[in-house]
Amino acid sequence: MGVEIERKFLLRNDDWRKVAPKGIRMAQWYLNEHGNTIRVRIADDKAYLTIKSKSVGISRMEFEYEIPLADAKELMNLTQTPIVDKFRYKIPYQGHVWEVDEFLGLNAGLVVAEVEMKCEDEEVAIPDWIGVDVSDDRRYRNTYLAKCPYSTWTD
């Protein structure tokens, strides 16, 4: 069993693009959401099944397994929410890897960064291009974006 501890941020500007490697195109969808999350994701030519528990603060249990690409494509037929489509860029910075997600489709225009930590009170160096911490704002979770895309937000 793994535990995911992460903080999520909006970006202050596009300076992250100067240090970002080539992004990975990802499509993900959700099969169940009764407190827990069951996600299927295709990232380039690999597929993953991920199960996450309900969050407690910025922590939650996480189990992730690589699955056959053909199985992932079949599981796509079971989803009842739109697919979340995005590019992910992994940017190393002072001992951590920042994952910047640039959303596409109905979530186009939204760019967020996440950083995983070993414990909730771990000190993390924040790059200059990082903006507001939205870790506690559920609207920025991918599960929420699948049901309520960024393009439909009014505030």
Residues with active-site annotation: 30
- Max distance between CA atoms of the chain, in angstroms, equals 42
Residues whose CB falls within 8 Å of the CB of residue 69, separated by 6 or more in sequence, listed in order: 42, 45, 46, 47
b/e code 72-92 from CB counts within 10 Å (16+ = b): beebbeebeeebbbbbbbebe
Using CA atoms, how far apart are residues 134 and 105, in angstroms rounded to an integer? 21
Contact 34, 148 (CB under 8 A): no
Rounded CA-CA distance 117/5 in Å is 5
